[in-house]
């Protein structure tokens, strides 16, 4: 079965409640003002792209990475921004979302165009792009994965212990006041709580206030619910495509018939996952809240966001030398100042075997 046929088959299995590929993508309004966080995140993303390009091109004898995704230093609020944004939206509708990088066999590499074709019109680069063996969307995260996992393990252990202790206190010290007909359900709830099901327990806290002991019990229930909610928080770092983005990635694949991948760059590790695997994961409802979760992400304008455990992907690098960073002052047209961070240098040791196996090349 061809790559396109596999993608189409998987898309047919995606529930429309998650992503409805039959509907056109949502039209977005152009942002009117850039923020310091936005520019710093973009700078970090640009650094992650350079990191991947350098790692691949210094390691591989047979393949070469080329910058391909839209690249422009203009930001919301500057002259020409509206025109740039509108042009980008038109391109998304016409060819889909360009991956940040393309991977070519060196035998197909166009030396005249070099390793940055981001500003070449898609009409001119169409046939060349189709020769790529892979497109890579690079995502960056300002985390050290090992430190994060250590902290999450401690958090889960701490609040699990606290939840069990609160359960025991409520049953030993307050069971008598819960023997009333309207309150016995809380005894059943408490008896049903154990270390193995904390991630699935939910209940409404009582609103008791007619005696001091009932008030004390109510407050303990609030503490218990808080402890359980901490245990239930997502405890993994994720590869995070917005649901709407899956449509424009699919559009690009249909346009060029080139396999698409996501690379997640942390400051100590790099993971990769194929678009095909992403579709396979989210098509399986048994994997929700196990390998992936669906959230409305405040950092992504409350868009429906799919968060896939990075470890569901392939570990591509376990050693990253961090970049240098510095503060930059940027003055906008009306005298507004933005201060943000830029990144320079750094390196990653790509596991070439893992890279080749993931891309199936």
Question: For position 259, what pLDDT does the model report?
Answer: 98
Is a pLDDT exceeding 90 seen at residue 213? yes
DSSP 144-208: -HHHHHHHHHHHHHHHHHHHHHHHHHHHHHSTGGG-STTTHHHHHHHHT--TTSTTT---PPP--
Question: For position 181, what pLDDT does the model report?
Answer: 82
Q: What is the per-residue pLDDT across 94-144, written as a single tens digit (0 to 9) for each?
A: 999 999 999 999 999 999 999 999 999 989 999 999 999 999 999 999 999
Q: What is the per-residue pLDDT across 141-170, written as a single tens digit (0 to 9) for each?
A: 999 999 999 999 999 999 999 999 999 999
Residue with tokens 């056109």: 24
Is a pLDDT exceeding 90 seen at residue 283? yes
Residue 244 to residue 360: CA distance in whole angstroms:
27
Domain ranges in the chain are 3-143+237-359, 146-232
Question: For position 302, what pLDDT does the model report?
Answer: 62
Query: By C-alpha distance, which of 261, 355, 258 is closest to 308?
Result: 261
Mean model confidence pLDDT for the chain:
93
pTM for this one?
Answer: 0.89
Question: For position 77, what pLDDT does the model report?
Answer: 75
Question: For position 297, what pLDDT does the model report?
Answer: 63
- Calculate mean pLDDT across residues 62-71: 93
Is a pLDDT exceeding 90 seen at residue 188? yes
Question: For position 27, what pLDDT does the model report?
Answer: 78
Residue 157 to residue 159: CA distance in whole angstroms:
6
- Calculate mean pLDDT across residues 196-223: 94
Q: What is the per-residue pLDDT across 235-271, written as a single tens digit (0 to 9) for each?
A: 999 999 999 999 999 999 999 999 999 999 999 999 9
Structure tokens at 70: 């839209």
Q: What is the 3-state secondary structure (H, E, C) of 246-310?
A: HHHHHHHHHHHCCCEEEEEECCCCEEEEEHHHHHHHHCCHHHECCCEEEEEEHHHCCEEEEEEEH
């Amino acid at each position: 079965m061809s790559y396109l046929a596999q993608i189409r088959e998987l898309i047919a299995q995606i529930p429309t409640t998650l992503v409805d590929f039959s509907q056109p993508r949502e039209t977005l309004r152009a942002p009117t003002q850039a923020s310091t966080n936005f520019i710093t995140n973009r700078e970090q993303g640009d650094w992650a792209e350079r990191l991947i390009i350098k790692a691949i091109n210094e390691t591989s004898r047979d393949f070469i990475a080329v910058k391909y995704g839209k690249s422009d230093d203009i930001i919301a609020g500057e002259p020409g921004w509206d025109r740039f944004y509108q042009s980008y939206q038109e391109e998304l509708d016409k060819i889909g979302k360009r991956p940040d990088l393309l991977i070519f066999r060196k035998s197909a590499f166009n030396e005249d165009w070099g390793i940055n074709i981001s500003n070449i019109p898609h009409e001119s680069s169409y046939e060349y792009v189709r020769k790529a063996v892979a497109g890579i969307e690079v995502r960056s995260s300002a985390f050290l994965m090992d430190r994060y996992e250590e902290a999450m393990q401690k958090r889960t252990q701490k609040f699990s212990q606290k939840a069990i202790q609160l359960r025991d206190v409520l049953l030993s010290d307050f069971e008598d006041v819960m023997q009333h007909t309207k309150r016995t359900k809380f005894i059943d709830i408490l008896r049903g709580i154990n270390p193995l099901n904390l991630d699935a327990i939910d209940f409404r806290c009582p609103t008791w206030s007619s005696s001091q002991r009932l008030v004390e019990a109510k407050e303990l229930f609030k503490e218990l619910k808080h402890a359980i909610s901490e245990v239930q928080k997502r405890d993994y770092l994720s590869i995070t495509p917005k649901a709407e983005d899956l449509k424009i990635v699919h559009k690009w694949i249909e346009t060029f018939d080139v396999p698409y991948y996501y690379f997640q760059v942390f400051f100590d590790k790099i993971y990769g996952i194929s678009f095909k695997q992403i579709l396979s994961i989210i098509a399986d409802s048994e994997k929700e809240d196990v390998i992936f979760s669906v959230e409305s992400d405040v950092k992504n304008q409350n868009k429906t966001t799919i968060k896939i455990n990075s470890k569901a992907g392939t570990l591509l690098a376990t050693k990253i030398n961090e970049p240098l960073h510095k503060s930059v002052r940027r003055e906008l047209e009306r005298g507004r100042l933005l201060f943000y961070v830029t990144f320079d240098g750094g390196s990653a040791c790509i596991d070439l075997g893992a890279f080749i196996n993931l891309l199936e090349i």
